[in-house]
Each structure stands twice: as structure tokens, then as C-alpha cells.
Structure 1
Amino acid sequence: MKQKIIMILLLLGSAMGGAAQNALPDTLLFVFKLHGQTRKYEMTFTPQHDAFVLNWRILRNLKWQKGSYTLTPQAVKKGSVLSFLMPEDGRHVTLSEQETAYILSQEAYRNLKARQRFAYNHTEYELMDSDEHAAGFALLHVRDTLEGSEMWILDNPSLPLVWSMQNNPLEINWRVEINK
């Protein structure tokens, strides 16, 4: 009897652990590299109706600076421009209907999954592989066909997050880290 109880507890524990692996934490740490400097922003993505509100904050000079970006429902559905707008303390910005911040639109994500390519910022990206994983999801590794910029996108239709960007011609590169 004791063995059966232990076996059931082990099975329940492994089932719960598997479910937790496909869940993103509420707050993600974005580590940006620009001109030899590193900045770490805490970000939360909150669905709001058919839109997203991205709240960010960073500790600078012993004070929390914070602000937000709102992605409109139209941008979430069909946006085709990734915003590189620099965060400013106390600023709450609603992006245009073409712009997303740190995520792909649903249309771009569907194109990536169906055709292994999508266009963003007037640049064509093609799928290279999906060998890496983060937070229990595959990362879709894409590269632009002209300049070699690379992104790793969370294979999650609810939040196709740009987990990492490297070789960006604007030199704004980042990688998401999960605090443990």
C-alpha cells in the first residue's frame, strides 16, 4: 500500500512539473546589449481585451524607472513593424496599429508556421531551425535574408515573444532570461 501511495505521488509530481514547464513567468528579464553597455529591464505582458499592455521597469541610480507600451488589437492581429522605441521613465505609449513591441503579430506568426517565413520591418525572415527551447516551448530561429539579423521566437501562439535578437543592424540586441 505504501508503495502505491509513493508511486501515485511521484506520478502526480511529474505531471505537475510537466505542466509548469510550458508556463511563462509573470515577469521576464530582458537583457539588452548596445554599444558595449548592458541594461536589464523587467517586463510583463498583460492581455487586455484583444490588445497587450507591456509594463517595463529598470532599477537605475537606486530608483525604479517604469513605463508601458500598449499594443492595439489591430497591431496584435496584423502588425508588421517591430518597435525599437527607447523606454523613457514615466512614459506610457500606445504604439501605432502597425507596431508591436517584442512580440510578432498573429498574422506574422501564422505565416512563419505555415510558410517558414514572414515579413517584418520590410524585411523577409526565414526559419532556420527550432532546436533550442525556453520555458518549455521551442524557439523558432529565423534569419533575415539580406543582413543576417537573427531572432529566436517563442513558439507560442498566445505570445509569440521575440526571445532573443542578435546581429541587429540597429545594434539593439537582447535575450530574455528567467529569474530562478
Structure 2
Amino acid sequence: MGQTIIVERREREVMKKYMILSVLLCLGFTGSLFAQSILPDTLLFVFKLHGQTRKYEMSFQEKQDSIYLHWGIERNLKWQSGSYAMGPESVEQATRLSFLQPEDGKHVQLSPEETVYILSRSAYKQLKEQQTLVYNQTTYSVLDSNERALGYPLIHVKDAAEGCEMWILDNPKLALVWRTCNNPLGVNWEVTVQPSN
């Protein structure tokens, strides 16, 4: 009788462990469904501004029709980080890029008219259908698609008025501005893929 009780307790403990493990696995799977990484890697954005170079690690995640950009940089032997949030309206219909400088600890919700480092889906659609793009009240025309990144062509566009050029990842889920040059604001960047550890 005593051994039967001990065996039953052990079986209950084992079942309890399996149930807890199952719940944790389900929660982990559900979490990954709600916050999916849109691009496979952490990307390194190399910024050039007035002769200075800054390197930011960035990753994009999609959660409930919003896109979150998480960034980080090591400065003065200290890790700084923050994020930008682009709501569903931004993701679908924004008409301008935000050039708001990252600040340590800041989590910025962008206005519905803005995206950061990506084009809205409507702007991307316009670019694909008309071979031109209007963003930040500037018209860009397609020059070529000769380069590739992350397995996608890069759409090379140029503003005829001021000469600003952008290379945009030809990806309908995330039309990332991969590189810029001749930006009238003076800030240009190029993306590279971080090597996996």
C-alpha cells in the first residue's frame, strides 16, 4: 500500500513536469507567432554624418500589424539602446521617412505619416507599379536593380532635383532602405548583415 502511494506521487510529479513543459512550449510558440522577425539577421547600419561614422545594430519585428525597430550601439564603453514603433497606418500608408536621431532609453511611437528606414507598403506598391516613388515630398525614379542583398534585388532610385539616391530592398514585407547617398540632410547609411556568432 505504501509503495503504491509513492509510485502514484512520482507519476503525478512527472505528469506535472510534462504539463508545465508543454505549457511553456506553447507559450514560446505563441510568442514567436506574435513577434516575428521580418528579416533573418541583426543588421548593422553604418551611418556617415559630417565625417563621423556610427554603427548601430538593428532588428525589425512584426507584431499585430505594427513594426518595431530595436536598435543598439556601444558608445563610451556603454551599451545604449531604444526602439521605434510604426503602427498599422504607418506600415500601410506613411509618406515620409523619420530622421529622428536615436536616444538611449527612448522608445518612440512614430506618427502615422512616418516610417523609419523602410518604405510604407503603399509607397512600395507605387514604386513597383509606376517605377517612381514620392516620399518626403520628393519624387524618386528607378535607375536599375543590378545589386542584391539578403536574396532580394535592390531597387536603385534617384531624386532628379537634389541627387539623393536610395537602394531599396525589393521585399513586399519590408521595403528596407538599404543604402543612401547624397542625402541633402547630410546623413547617409549602408546596411550590412551581422555575422552569426
Give TM-score scaled by structure 2 length.
0.79
Q: Does 1:103 align with 2:121?
A: no
Deviation string, structure 1 residues 123-147 (Cα, Å, up to 9, x no partner): 0011000001111110000001210
Q: Which residue of the partner structure matches residue 94 of structure 1?
A: 109
Deviation string, structure 1 residues 27-64 (Cα, Å, up to 9, x no partner): 10000000000000000100011110100000001111
More helix by share: 2
Q: Distance in 2 between matches of 1:25 and 1:85?
A: 25
Q: Does 1:53 align with 2:65?
A: no
Deviation for aligned residue 1:73? 0.5
Q: Which residue of the partner structure matches residue 171 of structure 1?
A: 186
- Name structure 1 gaps, 5 residues minimum: 1-22
Q: Distance in 2 between matches of 1:144 and 1:74?
A: 25
Equivalent AA in structure 1 for residue 52 of structure 2: Q
Asked if the contact 2:41/2:193 (under 8 Å) is kept, the reply is no
Partner of 2:45, secondary structure, is strand
Deviation string, structure 1 residues 78-125 (Cα, Å, up to 9, x no partner): 000100000000000000000000000000000000000010000001
Deviation for aligned residue 1:26? 2.7
Q: Which residue of the partner structure matches residue 143 of structure 1?
A: 158
Partner of 1:25, secondary structure, is coil
Q: Distance in 2 between matches of 1:66 and 1:133?
A: 29
Deviation for aligned residue 1:24? 3.9
* Structure 1 ranges of 4+ moved more than 2 A: 23-26
Q: Distance in 1 between matches of 2:40 and 2:103?
A: 24
Q: Percent of aligned positions with the same letter in both sequences?
A: 59
- Name structure 2 gaps, 5 residues minimum: 1-37
Asked if the contact 2:39/2:60 (under 8 Å) is kept, the reply is no
Partner of 1:132, secondary structure, is strand
Partner of 2:122, secondary structure, is helix
Partner of 1:75, secondary structure, is helix
The CA RMSD measured in Å over matched residues stands at 1.0
Tell which structure's C-alpha radius of gyration is larger: 2
Aligned residues: 158
Q: Which residue of the partner structure matches residue 3 of structure 1?
A: none
Equivalent AA in structure 1 for residue 72 of structure 2: R
Q: Does 1:62 align with 2:94?
A: no
Equivalent AA in structure 2 for residue 32 of structure 1: F
Give runs of aligned pairs for residues 1-180 of structure 1, distance below 5 A: 24-180=39-195
